[in-house]
Amino acid sequence: MRPFKFTNTSNASSAINLLIKNPNAKFLAGGTNLLDLMKEDVERPDELIDLGRLDLTAVRPLVTGNNVVGISIGGLGKNTDAANHPLIRKDYPLLTKAILAGASAQIRNMATNGGNLLQRTRCSYFYDIAMPCNKRLPGTGCSAMQGINRMHAIFGWSDSCIAVYPSDMAVALSALNASVKVMQPSGTARIIAIHDFHRLPGNHPEKDNNLDHGELITAIEIPKNKFAANSAYIKVRDRNSYAFALVSVAAGLELAGGKIISASIAMGGVAHKPWRATHAENILRGKMATVENFQMAADAEMEDARPLAHNKFKIGMGKKTIVYALEQAFKGTGYKA
Amino acid sequence: MITENISTPVISHKKKLSLTINGEVKTLEVKPWVSLLDCLREHLDLTGTKKGCDHGQCGACTVIVDGKRILSCLTLAVMKDGASITTIEGIGKDGELHPLQKAFIDHDAFQCGYCTPGQICSAIGMIAEGKAKTRTEVKELMSGNLCRCGANTNIIDAIMEVQEGLTNE
């Protein structure tokens, strides 16, 4: 690892002030991804500002006036604590399932909620500093395009990058219409819808998201929803646990009788950001919750897929995973209001 | 030809920190980029904690920090100033093996033994978390610790014995 300066503070504004003074500085939260990338020489900050002592860890109801309108999850809280918080387990079981599908127990004890959103792709060419990579070093080319791209994107990729975004948590947050609350250098808050937080690669794959240097994730906010009783997170991977997704699906259904009032579906492992399956959602709205309708929705969603040389299997896998996730959601989570 | 902008290294001084390790307060000075794993092994001569992959993929470096199991390879020592750390060297009491150490021996839960300190520290953390009840749940919550000898079946047997013993008390 290259030498760097280590600074710590227990105050959010001073952390931001330290960061904006140095364009090569980075925030350090759990460190599970950043320190690994520094060991690999992919990330080369010359200063780390440790956020471990900031008081931004609480999970609490999101309140407007006298009404609870959702839940707020501290940006620096640990993934384990978010997944196991009683309010989240009860009212947002989809989030619990998605977080617990990611990484290992040790890593979830270290990784923060904000850091989870900021983790970088696991594209092996991004990690290999001997290979060209537009995300790591803009303008050098994409090695994965003509390489082994089995793990790569089938939606939304560009000629400059076909990497996928690895978070499980963010896929659930996408299906739950969450927002990311950040503190700007001016001290004011900015709320970014989860769908606008991560980016498609376009011509700037070096930018994973729309955060500016000096902006700090203080919380993730999830609005109240009607999916607690009927939701599922299904992750398909090369081994049963502790692996990144080939394809994952977060699905929530709002049902009346056997009829779908609304469906919320997001996919992981298929794009540079959580992929919201809007075609499928639109088809399901107002229809009966039957396997035939689930299949029709899944087929429609996968129609726009553009597979690469080694990942055509993700189309069939994507369809089956959407159908299975909807079936599991329909079966129910055992939720009691 | 790939050209890269390599920023000039910053000269960084050693940081002073205090760690409570297996109940004993240690004050030391380390450079900021020293991992907790290297700090334990190279600076404190506690070589029970193992370096497997050094990238958070194998779990061999698992230690318990402030009651939680974490990976010492992906933690900087300076991040844990003031923390209380338990390593494999600190789990036996008064010359007696920890119940998990004993169960690992009874169940032949290792061959080469390299992953064992991490497996045992992870299992202590897992039992304290109290989330895994069934064998399937234990397997899932122990998936962060790899055993390349393939002793996993016996490892889970050993952990189940200790966990069930605690439940039945």
Among A5, A39, A140, whose Cβ lies nearest the Cβ of B2? Answer: A140
Give the strands of the sheet with A275-276, arranged side by side.
A231-236, A247-256, A259-268, A275-276
The alpha carbon dihedral of A101, A103, A104, A110 has a sign of: negative
B16: β partners: B29
Task: Please tell me the distance from the alpha carbon of residue A309 to that of residue A82, in angstroms, as a whole number.
Answer: 38
SS3 B121: helix
Closest B-chain CA to A49: B79
User: What residue type is assigned to position A58 of the chain?
Assistant: A
Q: A65-79, A148-162, A321-335, B8-22: lowest mean pLDDT where?
A: B8-22
How far apart are the CA of B56 and the nearest CA of chain A, in angstroms? 7
Across the interface, whether the CB atoms of A106 and B143 are under 8 A apart is answered: no
The model's pLDDT over A225-280, given as tens digits with 9 standing for 90+, comes to 999 999 999 999 999 999 999 999 999 999 999 999 999 999 999 999 999 999 99
Closest A-chain CA to B59: A106
Residue B3 has pLDDT above 70, yes or no: no
Cβ atoms within 10 Å of A277's Cβ, excluding its own: 29
Task: Please tell me the distance from the alpha carbon of residue B102 to that of residue A309, in angstroms, as a whole number.
Answer: 51
Give the contacts of A155 (CB within 8 A, at least 6 positions apart). A267, A270, A271, A275, A304, A305, A306
Residues in B closer than 8 angstroms to A105, CB to CB, are 69, 122, 125-126, 129, 141-144
Task: Please tell me the distance from the alpha carbon of residue A333 to that of residue A92, in angstroms, as a whole number.
Answer: 10
Residues in B closer than 8 angstroms to A5, CB to CB, are 10, 12, 32
CB burial class (10 A; 0-12, 13-18, 19+) of residue A9? Answer: middle
Residue B1 has pLDDT above 50, yes or no: no
Q: How confident is the model at residue B6 (pLDDT cuts 50, 70, 90)?
A: low
The model's pLDDT over A84-142, given as tens digits with 9 standing for 90+, comes to 999 999 999 999 999 999 999 999 999 999 999 999 999 999 999 999 999 999 999 99
Interface test with A, best of B37, B66, B76 (most A CBs within 10 A): B76
Residue A78 has pLDDT above 80, yes or no: yes
Which B residues, 29 through 88, put their C-beta within 8 Å of a C-beta on chain A?
Answer: 31-33, 35, 54-56, 59, 62, 68-71, 74-76, 78-79
CB B69 within 8 A of CB B62: yes
ipTM of the complex in this document: 0.97
Q: What percent of chain A shows pLDDT beyond 70?
A: 100
Residue A206 sits at the chain B interface (C-beta within 8 Å) = no
The fourth-level CATH superfamily of domain B99-168 is: [2Fe-2S]-binding domain (1.10.150.120)
Residue B10 has pLDDT above 90, yes or no: no
Q: How confident is the model at residue A336 (pLDDT cuts 50, 70, 90)?
A: confident
Task: Please tell me the distance from the alpha carbon of residue B147 to that of residue B107, in angstroms, as a whole number.
Answer: 15
- The domains of chain A, with CATH numbers, are 5-52 (3.30.43.10), 231-331 (3.30.390.50)
Domain B15-90 identical in fold to domain B99-168: no
SS3 A45: coil
- Count, in order, helices (H) and strands (E) of chain A: 13, 12
Provide the residue ranges of all domains of chain B, joining segments of one domain with +: 15-90, 99-168
How far apart are the CA of B121 and the nearest CA of chain A, in angstroms? 11
- Which of the following CATH numbers is that of domain B15-90: 3.10.20.440, 3.10.20.30, 3.20.20.210, 3.40.50.10470? 3.10.20.30
Task: Please tell me the distance from the alpha carbon of residue A329 to that of residue B8, in angstroms, as a whole number.
Answer: 53
Interface test with A, best of B1, B3, B4, B10 (most A CBs within 10 A): B10
